[in-house]
Amino acid sequence: MLQSKLFTKMEKTPPRDEESLNAKLLVQAGFVQKLMAGVYTFLPLGLRVLNKIENIVREEMNNAGAIEMLMPGLQPKENWEATKRWDTFDALLKTKSKFGGEYAMGPTHEEVVYPLLKKHLASYRDFPVAVYQIQTKFRDEKRAKSGLLRGREFRMKDCYSYHASDEERDKYYDVMKNSYMNIFKRLELNAVPTNAGGGTFSELSMEFQVLCAAGEDVIYLCENCNVAVNKELSGDLAAKCPKCKDLTNEKKSIEVGNIFPLKETFAKNFNLVFKDNTGKEKLVSAGCYGLGTSRVMGAIAEVKNDDFGLIWPKSVAPYDIHLVYLKSNDRNVMAEAEKFYRKCLEADAGILFDDRDDVSAGSKFAESDLIGIPLRVVISDRTLEKESAEIKKRNEKNAGLVKLDDLDSYISKDS
Ligand SMILES: [Zn+2]
């Protein structure tokens, strides 16, 4: 991508109408733009990050045997009345048609997926089934001031698994737990498995929490074991680690995912039953696995940054390489920069090329730090005097020179 063609402009200072660090950074660097409180447009750079996060989630869900589909965001009131959640669901965003119908803007999809699967599941032979979607969801938040950490409109992966018995469901819970650990490892995000069941650690209900001073959750963390218990649900039980029994530390955190068994009531509400191998009718057993993909993007921005801007992990960075050309009267400088750019494109490597002629070197470096691409490559008069390019990793302080002939080794295929 040529930076001269990127229509979005970076701001010189952080936006004044944002309180949270993630929104300050992401807006200033041109990743997202606020339409109203809790509602953001994903600009080209931001969409690349979001897509990379969602593709990692998609791959791991597929590996876990879940099958992707896409359910509607707009849901009929009748389904929410069937679960008695039309009047009780916290932050349900409701809308009315001028033709008389009433709808919910989906914050979650039990009301859609249960009746959907009722048409397809009849016999014990039909199990297990796990379906998921990655979709835009809505919550009617009173105060949405945390940027991507708490949106009125946000992106989420939600997965629902269906089983012929609770035992089978509990086995699949472990598959999902493993899958979540893989996702966060690939995102280079330390998301601490946190017991949310209110009791012992072995209970099957888990949140994944990212430590962060701006977080809305409070957890009791054991740093030896990298496990935690949510304060809200635990009472005094969590003062000691459930594994090693050492004292835990109270920390603020952001919940980026959760996995838990679904209550039997949904199956009862929609009469989701099947015939077991003796012909007896039984209620289906189900689990639910959520992960906020736009919130993950906000969490990464919130914890991976320095005084100069964002520091993206390679797996989700908008581009792998930021090639910066510094204006020169010597045509050879632009020619060398273009040569490297073309090589990267041919190798299918993700590269942003700052080819602009009307921006000072100081501004280019400041913007490059703000955007936070993992590797910066500078080609200028000074580097070419030594037949070299300057290389600097975003997460390291020092820059170094690399011979132009050796530059190819920095090109890696975009994931
Ligand atoms: Zn411990």
pLDDT digit string, tens, across residues 260-269: 999 888 999 9
Q: Is the pLDDT of residue 242 over 90?
A: no
- Cα 57 to middle of ligand 1, angstroms: 28
- Cα 176 to middle of ligand 1, angstroms: 22
- As a whole number of angstroms, the distance between CA 192 and CA 230 comes to 11
Q: What are phi and psi of 56, to 5 degrees?
A: -65, -45
Does the domain at 7-306 match CATH 3.30.930.10? Answer given as: yes
pLDDT-derived band of residue 415, with 50, 70 and 90 as boundaries?
very low
pLDDT above 70 covers a percentage of the chain that reads 97
Q: Is the pLDDT of residue 202 over 60?
A: no
Q: Is the pLDDT of residue 414 over 80?
A: no
- As a whole number of angstroms, the distance between CA 403 and CA 377 comes to 12
pLDDT tens readout for residues 101-145:
999 999 999 999 999 999 999 999 999 999 999 999 999 998 888
Average pLDDT over every residue of 189-210: 80
Average pLDDT over every residue of 265-283: 95
- As a whole number of angstroms, the distance between CA 240 and CA 246 comes to 5
- Cα 33 to middle of ligand 1, angstroms: 41
Which neighbouring-strand residues pair with 237? none
- Cα 167 to middle of ligand 1, angstroms: 27
- As a whole number of angstroms, the distance between CA 337 and CA 326 comes to 10
- Cα 255 to middle of ligand 1, angstroms: 20
Lowest mean pLDDT segment, chosen from 169-183, 191-205, 224-238, 266-280 = 191-205
The reply to whether 7-306 and 321-410 are identical in fold is no
- Cα 235 to middle of ligand 1, angstroms: 18
Taking all residues of the chain, what is their mean pLDDT, rounded to a whole number? 94
Q: Is the pLDDT of residue 287 over 90?
A: yes
The fold adopted by the segment(s) 321-410 is Rossmann fold (3.40.50)
- Cα 227 to middle of ligand 1, angstroms: 7
How far apart, in Å, are the Cα atoms of 189 and each of 71, 150, 298, 300, 326? 29, 18, 12, 7, 34
Which neighbouring-strand residues pair with 255? 209
* Residue 402: CB atoms within 10 Å: 16
- Cα 221 to middle of ligand 1, angstroms: 8
Q: Which residues surround ligand 1, an ion (CB under 5 A)?
A: 222, 224-225, 241, 243-244
- Cα 53 to middle of ligand 1, angstroms: 30
Average pLDDT over every residue of 224-247: 81
pLDDT-derived band of residue 147, with 50, 70 and 90 as boundaries?
very high
pLDDT tens readout for residues 154-192:
999 999 999 999 999 999 999 999 999 999 999 999 999
- Cα 223 to middle of ligand 1, angstroms: 7
- Cα 241 to middle of ligand 1, angstroms: 5
- Cα 64 to middle of ligand 1, angstroms: 28
Report which residue type is found at 311.
I
Instruction: Please state the domain extents for the chain.
Output: 7-306, 321-410
* Residue 252: CB atoms within 10 Å: 15
Q: What are phi and psi of 347, to 5 degrees?
A: -85, 0
Sequence-distant (6+) residues with CB within 8 A of 403 are 387, 388
Question: Strand (E) positions, 52-126?
Answer: 67-68, 74-76, 93-96, 102-105
- Cα 339 to middle of ligand 1, angstroms: 53
- Cα 229 to middle of ligand 1, angstroms: 11
pLDDT-derived band of residue 197, with 50, 70 and 90 as boundaries?
low
- Cα 190 to middle of ligand 1, angstroms: 16
pLDDT above 90 covers a percentage of the chain that reads 87
- Looking at residue 300, its pLDDT comes to 98
Helix (H, G, I), strand (E, B) or coil at 322: strand
Question: Are 354 and 300 in contact, with CB atoms under 8 Å apart?
Answer: no
- As a whole number of angstroms, the distance between CA 261 and CA 272 comes to 16
- Looking at residue 413, its pLDDT comes to 64
- Looking at residue 243, its pLDDT comes to 83
pLDDT tens readout for residues 18-63:
999 999 999 999 999 999 999 999 999 999 999 999 999 999 999 9
The pTM is what?
0.96
- Cα 240 to middle of ligand 1, angstroms: 8
